Structure 1
Amino acid sequence: MNAPHIVTSYVVIDDVLELIGHTDDTRTRVSSAEILTVAIVAAKYFQNHHERALCLLQQTGYLPKLSVSRFNRRLHALQDILLLIASLLGEMMATGNVFVIDTMPVPVCKRVRAARCRKVQGDDYLGYCASKRAYYCGWQLHLVCDATGVPVAFELLPARWDELTLVQDLLSLLPEGSVVVADKGYISDTDQQLSYINGRVRLVPKQRRNMRGNTTQDAELIRTHRSRIETVNSQPEKMGLQRLHARTNPGFALKVLASLLALTFTNIV
């Protein structure tokens, strides 16, 4: 574990909680900032295994004694706060006017177990990941990051839904004059025109071989930021985002949010 990363995560979260006016009960021995820091450490270093992260942080003196069950109750009570922090940090830490957007699978289980899965049910959750050539049951995460890899906007959609379903909602969160680099899955003349008309945001997807190619300027832009798209995919994957284990849907969403916050701190620390 990286001690400066842990301390920085705690300090930033504590400052944001103070900024939004969040206060803890005077009887609590472990603050909300410490609870959220444990979740982020678990996402970054322990593939979202909260018990391991909690035990290790207690053994190294970062936290006082706290049971796993009590930690889980405190963390679930802070779910809305966690979402707010992720959104605020995306707005505050983002730099530049070039962003990248990509989609990654977030399986709940393998396709063969879909019939027995209780968390998500129905054909909408049966998806296919072309890059991995694998079917799965679960969600797809749409993630918009700045050029340094800091998440700015994100959304979970059922795995089978079209990638372009919420693209306008995500792009509307970006400042005027932004340029968004995307892969071939985001090719849509309509969405490119709408994003520019509604928010002066230019969507630049990589064109397929059988289509009219990108302009020289756009091709250079895509080439420059292509590696960031790959990194945006690989970093959450290394954190175990595609191998999450949770007993409930709120618990699953919590671990996704913690992974995104861990990604934010990884790319700013």
Structure 2
Amino acid sequence: MTELYVFCDDHVVLTRRGRGRRPRLTDAELVTLAVAQALLGYHSEHRWIRFALVNLRGMFRYLPNQPGYHKRLKAAQPLLSKAIVMLAEQGPSWFDDVWMTDATPVPCGMSRETVKRSDLAGHAGYGYCASHSRFYWGLKLYLVCSGDGMPIMWCLANPKLGEREVVAALLEHNHHLIRDGQILLADKGFAGKEFKQLTEAMGLRLLRPDRKDETHTNGNLGGVRQWIESVNQTLKGQLDLEAHGGRTPAGVLTRIAQRLLAMAAGIWRNWNTGVISKRSLTAYDSQ
């Protein structure tokens, strides 16, 4: 937590200028507190602040109550996203030639009454999760990451939108991060002439499994595709992606960013300390 705070204070958070009272909890301290919450598995902000008030008072000059923490955290979503990219740039995997992309469900409701009353209406929708053979109501997380799982680009979208259209928009929005000759590993759902032309225009080389009606080019890429599946499993199994608890668009976006940042921070520190499994978070999920 101390290393992350120093990094955020030096490289992520901009110096506040102008008039006005300075917040008692700084932005760097807020980011550190948010990452610690995700790594320790506290889904409830009430329980997390209660734990922090008892156990973390010596690390922070000031700890807000739950409403204040919730308000600050929801407004800090752009800061969390910036911290993800800054941490990614510090790791050796940032210079890898291969990036991976995939989508995973983010359920936001389990009942029909929730669907009708939720503030996510108009943003979320019904989708199908093939890995669990079930339908769900919520959003889809699209992630572009390096081979060790370090997040590079990400977004949330309605599951009814086409995967190629969403990833194309994600790549266009973050075109400044793409290097010429970069390989993008995707699944067979990203087949299509238009998508291939788009990636080639950006300097990307698309690598995906062959479809049954195509001539042999890359094969099934089964072993390599397990990389991105294991990244999604880390988000779901260790960081409780599906238990985010968000009930508004801003709330869901912030909680997903919080979990991605926690994974990025764990990978960043594992590189610094020489841990063999860069995405292992077991050293950080105990109290």
Distance 1:130-1:236 versus aligned 2 partners, 3 A rule: same
TM-score by length of 2: 0.79
Q: 1:176 deviation in Å?
A: 1.1
Distance 1:205-1:169 versus aligned 2 partners, 3 A rule: same
Deviates more, 1:33-42 or 1:250-259: 33-42
Q: How many Å separate the matches in 2 of 1:47 and 1:230?
A: 24
- Partner AA of 1:21 in structure 2: T
What SS does the corresponding residue of 1:54 show, helix, strand or coil?
A: helix
Matched residue count? 258
Q: How many Å separate the matches in 1 of 2:71 and 2:124?
A: 30
Q: 1:165 deviation in Å?
A: 1.0
What SS does the corresponding residue of 1:214 show, helix, strand or coil?
A: coil
- Partner AA of 1:83 in structure 2: S
1:105 match = 105
Superimposed CA distance per residue, residues 183-233 of structure 1 (whole angstroms, 9 cap, x where no aligned partner): 22222232123211x1210111122344333337xx6xx456323212211
What SS does the corresponding residue of 1:164 show, helix, strand or coil?
A: helix
Q: How many Å separate the matches in 2 of 1:259 and 1:194?
A: 30
1:206 match = 209
**1:177 pairs with 149, 162, 181, which one?**
181
2:65 match = 67
Deviates more, 1:33-42 or 1:255-264: 33-42
What SS does the corresponding residue of 1:62 show, helix, strand or coil?
A: coil
What SS does the corresponding residue of 2:24 show, helix, strand or coil?
A: coil
1:163 match = 163
What SS does the corresponding residue of 2:169 show, helix, strand or coil?
A: helix
Distance 1:263-1:205 versus aligned 2 partners, 3 A rule: same
1:27-38 map, 5 Å = 27-38=22-33
2:83 match = 85
- Partner AA of 1:130 in structure 2: A
TM-score by length of 1: 0.84
**2:108–2:139 contact (8 Å) kept in structure 1:** yes
1:21 match = 15
**1:140–1:157 contact (8 Å) kept in structure 2:** yes
1:3 match = none
2:283 match = none
Q: 1:268 deviation in Å?
A: 1.9
Q: How many Å separate the matches in 2 of 1:39 and 1:237?
A: 18
Q: How many Å separate the matches in 1 of 2:110 and 2:17?
A: 41
Gaps of 5+ in 1: 1-5
**1:102–1:143 contact (8 Å) kept in structure 2:** yes
1:96 match = 96
Distance 1:32-1:152 versus aligned 2 partners, 3 A rule: same
What SS does the corresponding residue of 2:96 show, helix, strand or coil?
A: coil
**2:142–2:156 contact (8 Å) kept in structure 1:** yes
What SS does the corresponding residue of 1:149 show, helix, strand or coil?
A: coil
Superimposed CA distance per residue, residues 111-167 of structure 1 (whole angstroms, 9 cap, x where no aligned partner): 644642422225971111111111111111110001111100111111111111132
Distance 1:28-1:124 versus aligned 2 partners, 3 A rule: closer
Q: How many Å separate the matches in 2 of 1:97 and 1:163?
A: 23
Distance 1:135-1:105 versus aligned 2 partners, 3 A rule: same
1:186 match = 190
**2:123–2:157 contact (8 Å) kept in structure 1:** no
Q: How many Å separate the matches in 2 of 1:210 and 1:114?
A: 42
Distance 1:121-1:66 versus aligned 2 partners, 3 A rule: closer
**2:41 pairs with 40, 46, 67, which one?**
46
1:135 match = 135
Q: How many Å separate the matches in 1 of 2:109 and 2:208?
A: 30
- Percent identical among aligned pairs is 26
Superimposed CA distance per residue, residues 29-63 of structure 1 (whole angstroms, 9 cap, x where no aligned partner): 32211112121122222154333333333322333
Q: How many Å separate the matches in 2 of 1:247 and 1:42?
A: 18
